[in-house]
Chain A
């Protein structure tokens, strides 16, 4: 199977930090450790869930060390809890910093959410109310965390399933203002945009158009579950066509961005992931227009 090539010099709107377009990658999952370290398959880069490699010195870290020698790695966490009103956990930041150095991570990020308060962790991505107060709180925390980590945080729009009555601005405005005021980078999860907009009856194309391209350094693609009354971000299947179209829409405006396919449940063979993520190359090279 010949691999579509990517024109990685095509960033129409470069990101503020000059962070590279890593090409097309997939999330690194334990099921594929052995395949990757035996076959060294063609893949531009991998993303890791940071917490899976913290507080362990077992097999995952052994494989990660080998993989990080050969492929660029980006760290993407799920428990930084930048929106929480609990104190910042600096011991956890130290662990992130150490892992980032160990794998020479290209960047480090998490989600625009909170995961727990009162010392508890729900291990889920809870939405914040999109208020001036919420924004001030998150901007101030992101600045502190970035200063401590000595690098920009790459923060992702989460899939959300509820809206607080207190919210006074749309999610995409909150994100754009957070990026501008905290001077942080963004990870645009196109599938999350679709899921969120379905759940809140919003226009995903308008949402995508309001995301400041100069802050976006990475894109996520994934599958989801459509329950009819609502969608859940399950990462358990192929990317649907509407999400590919949103990806192409952003790409038309912004140009090349490191693009990653997430597949976290019902995980298929590595070759299926390769096949799925390679579809992105076609959209990046104008196939959407050709198809239209």
Chain B
């Protein structure tokens, strides 16, 4: 089915106009729209009729305004703490620039702002506040991602009990897809928790932190992890057998084999309680 040219041109023109970040006025004059309908740049009324109360441009402007307003409203819901940190005006301006550069290409809005934390980190002036806000945005984005992630059934106590003491080393566990691991420049999770408790925390100084964001049942959680703990979990997510993952966790600056040995049981207890491991056949690496 070949669409008729006139309709196709009109749709591409209107989209170019209403998605222009500076509004419909700039949109009709911009190259993208002019190359499609040159006459409309001089006289928008040649394409869109005025009403008794609004000019042609004002009528297009309704759609142009709603395009950004609607998507910014969605992002306000997704990034409440980032918004609070940047302030309403700067946040909205950042969203507008982001939407202009990364317009939605999907039918749902779930993934609209997937690149927003990276965009903030790359485009905001490099101040402490902005770097911290980009970290907070990573956590808020992760919360959206795990919210929508596929459902899984967690491993049962009986399944853990079935694993022989000698087999743990060779064990490969399936990790829930509703889990995101984040290595951050700032203690952003602690800051968000303090805000949630109604405290008024000060902007923290940079300090590397390790955070997991996960869904248990239908509730989303975020939790700080010890560096070795986070690294071990990262290896398990990558499908490494437990023995390999443990060895990987004690490599690197400041890592301690003693600490891992002492804490391993507690970490597993925490992860099992968080339903991070998925029910199913546990796989043992061949010797």
Binding site for B on A (CB under 8 A): 51-52, 54-59, 62, 79, 83-85, 89, 92, 114, 116-124, 126, 128-129, 131, 133-134, 136-137, 140-141, 144, 161-166, 199-201, 228-230, 232
Return chain B residues, CB-CB under 8 Å to A124: 18, 63, 66-67, 70
Complex contact B104–A164 (CB within 8 A): no
In the bound complex, how far is the Cα of B267 from the Cα of A88, in angstroms? 49
Complex contact A51–B107 (CB within 8 A): yes
Return chain A residues, CB-CB under 8 Å to B11: 83-85, 114, 117, 126, 128
Return chain B residues, CB-CB under 8 Å to A89: 107
Q: Is B158 an interface residue (CB 8 A)?
A: no
Return chain B residues, CB-CB under 8 Å to A128: 7, 11
Q: Is B210 an interface residue (CB 8 A)?
A: no
Binding site for A on B (CB under 8 A): 1, 3-4, 6-8, 10-12, 14-15, 18-19, 45-49, 51-54, 56, 58-60, 62-63, 66-67, 70-71, 103-111, 147-151, 215, 218
Number of A-B contacts (CB under 8 A): 139
Complex contact A51–B108 (CB within 8 A): yes
Residue in chain B with minimal CB distance to A200: B51
Complex contact B63–A126 (CB within 8 A): yes
Q: Which of A79, A126, A163 contacts B49 (CB 8 A)?
A: A163
A-B CB contact pairs (8 Å), 22 listed: A51-B107, A54-B107, A56-B147, A57-B148, A59-B218, A85-B11, A116-B104, A120-B15, A120-B19, A121-B106, A123-B109, A126-B18, A128-B11, A129-B6, A134-B7, A137-B3, A162-B60, A162-B62, A164-B47, A164-B49, A200-B51, A228-B53
Complex contact B51–A201 (CB within 8 A): yes
In the bound complex, how far is the Cα of B52 from the Cα of A55, in angstroms? 43
Complex contact B67–A58 (CB within 8 A): no
Besides A79-B108, A116-B15, A126-B15, 15 other A-B contacts (C-beta < 8 A): A56-B110, A57-B149, A59-B147, A84-B11, A117-B12, A118-B15, A120-B103, A121-B105, A122-B67, A123-B67, A131-B7, A133-B7, A161-B59, A165-B48, A229-B54
Residue in chain A with minimal CB distance to B219: A59
Complex contact A57–B10 (CB within 8 A): no
Return chain B residues, CB-CB under 8 Å to A116: 15, 104
- If A133-B4, A162-B48 touch, whether A122 touches B18 (CB-CB below 8 Å) is yes
User: Smallest distance from the beta carbon of B270 to chain A beta carbons, Å?
Assistant: 23
Complex contact A62–B218 (CB within 8 A): yes
Shortest Cβ-Cβ A-B pairs, 10 listed: A85-B3, A59-B218, A162-B59, A229-B53, A56-B148, A85-B8, A133-B4, A79-B107, A161-B62, A121-B104
Return chain B residues, CB-CB under 8 Å to A121: 103-107
Complex contact A166–B51 (CB within 8 A): no
- If A162-B63, A165-B46, A199-B51 touch, whether A58 touches B10 (CB-CB below 8 Å) is no
